Amino acid sequence: MFQDAMQQSGRAPLTLEEAARRFRHLGEETGALRVSLQATERERQAALERANVQATLGRDLRQEMDGLRSSLTSEIHDARDKLAWAMKTVEAQVLASRASLDGLVRSIAQPQGSIGGQAATLYLDLLELSLTGVLSDDVSIDPWTAGTYDPGRRAIGRDWPATACTMIGTARMRNLRHLLERALAEDVPGDFIETGVWRGGACIYARGILAAHGDATRRVFVADSFRGLPEPDAEAFPADVGDQHSTYQQLAINQEQVAENFRRYGLLDERVVFLEGWFKDTLPTAPIERLAVLRLDGDMYESTIQALDALYDKVSPGGYVIVDDYILGPCARAIEDFRAARGITASLEPVDGAAVWWQVPR
Ligand SMILES: C[S@@+](CC[C@H](N)C(=O)[O-])C[C@H]1O[C@@H](n2cnc3c(N)ncnc32)[C@H](O)[C@@H]1O
């Protein structure tokens, strides 16, 4: 039958040996196929195991990362708490320094034998709190700290208040009060002048101090361009080259506004004298005979030297010269040049790291 089939397919009939050989060959191929299937199966198992191991590793890794994340989060919280605590400590230290500065300036302002009763002291304390903007936490408008109120800065006049009448701060106001009260107590003849008044706060304070102590004759001279600082004159005053003060519109306050500020405090009267214009034009011919206190606050070399040239000889023996801007290089240079030219050796007394003063020898 097998041979019949082969004949029908048109092929030569297989011999028995050939059929047996092919059968054996088929068996061998099947065996090889089985072996390769088993190998494939082993590989599949191995791959499965590897996948399981990787899944386990991934889980472990994820758990480790979760652990890390939560420990990192708690470390960040700790650090934040520590930082907040440190900031509170610094804040407390600033407040403490301010309190001690207040104590210091108070003790300076009320030396033994200080004149005026408790009512005068309370009035002047309140006037000072209001004029500096400390009473109202008045925020700043200077380009460096704009929009903030920092009591530490205000105590030493390192910002420009938004609405308060002076930018010189508590310590320099106390120094002004101390020296004017000393001049009154020691009968040093003469008036008060500030050259560079801005909104007038220091002059308003001076007028209040005279009123509080019952002075009936001394005048307060209020000298300013009432339109800001001059542009630097490089040829005449090389120390002012590059000075930017003239570019700040915040420093230009008109005279009507300053007079209005005096009026609001009830301190505008005929003993307040305005000298409007550039110092070089107004000061040499100002109707001033004698000064008890000369306060310089014009920031620049030009403004400082012109005020000294015009007014220093009018300061009475025993009177005082206050230099608000000694912290500024051009102003300090003007002071040094002037003192050297005049042979002035009276010691420069510090106020708050910015201003200095000296007493004219008797
Ligand atoms: C820093 S502010 C004075 C601050 C003021 N003493 C206070 O209590 O806040 C400087 C003032 O000086 C004035 N000033 C500066 N140089 C001047 C000059 N050469 N002539 C006239 N005014 C001048 C400016 O107009 C400005 O009002």
For residue range 214-243, list pLDDT tens digits in order: 999 999 999 999 999 999 999 999 999 999
The helix or strand, by DSSP H or E, that contains position 257, with its residue range, turns out to be: helix 255-264
- Residues 122-135 have a mean pLDDT of 98
Beta bridge partners, 193, equal 221, 294
Q: Which two tokens stand for residue 314?
A: 């009018």
For ligand 1, the distance from its centroid to the CA atom of residue 108, given in whole angstroms, is 26
Closest residue CA from atom 27 of ligand 1: 198
- Kindly give the interhelix angle for 169-185 and 16-109, rounded to the nearest 10 degrees: 10
pLDDT, tens digit (0-9, with 9 covering 90-100), for 14-43: 788 888 888 888 888 888 888 888 888 889
For ligand 1, is residue 166 a contact (CB within 6 Å)?
yes
Classify domain 110-359 at the CATH superfamily level. Answer: Vaccinia Virus protein VP39 (3.40.50.150)
* Alpha carbon distances (Å) from 227 to 82, 244, 251, 253, 258: 49, 15, 7, 6, 12
ipTM exceeding cut-off 0.85 for this assembly: yes
Please indicate whether residue 204, judged by its CB atom, sits closer than 6 Å to ligand 1. Answer: no
Give the Å distance between the CA of 38 and the centre of ligand 1.
100
Distance 197 CA to ligand 1 centre (A): 5
Task: Map out the domains of the chain as residue ranges.
Answer: 1-103, 110-359
pLDDT tens string 164-175 = 999 999 999 999
Q: Are strands 315-323 and 356-359 parallel, antiparallel or unpaired?
A: antiparallel
Residue 291 · residue 193 · CB < 8 Å:
yes
Query: Within 10 A of 282 (CB to CB), how many other CB atoms are there?
Result: 19
Give the contacts of 99 (CB within 8 A, at least 6 positions apart).
none
Distance 305 CA to ligand 1 centre (A): 13
Least confident of 18-27, 264-273, 302-311, 352-361: 18-27
Query: How much is the pLDDT for 9?
Result: 53
Count of C-beta atoms within a 10 Å radius of residue 83: 10
Ligand 1 pocket, residue 304 CB under 6 Å: no
- 156-159: long-range pairs with CB below 8 Å, 24+: 156/101, 156/352, 156/353, 156/354, 157/352, 157/354, 158/354
83-91: list long-range contacts, CB under 8 Å, 24+ apart: none
- Interval 62-106: pLDDT, tens: 888 888 888 887 787 777 766 765 565 455 445 545 545 655 555
Ligand 1 touching residue 197 (CB < 6 A): yes
Whether ligand 1 lies within 6 angstroms of the CB of 229 is answered as yes
Q: What is the structure's pLDDT at 72?
A: 84
Cα 130 to averaged position of ligand 1 atoms, centre (Å): 20
Q: Residue 96 is encoded by which pair of tokens?
A: 């403490």
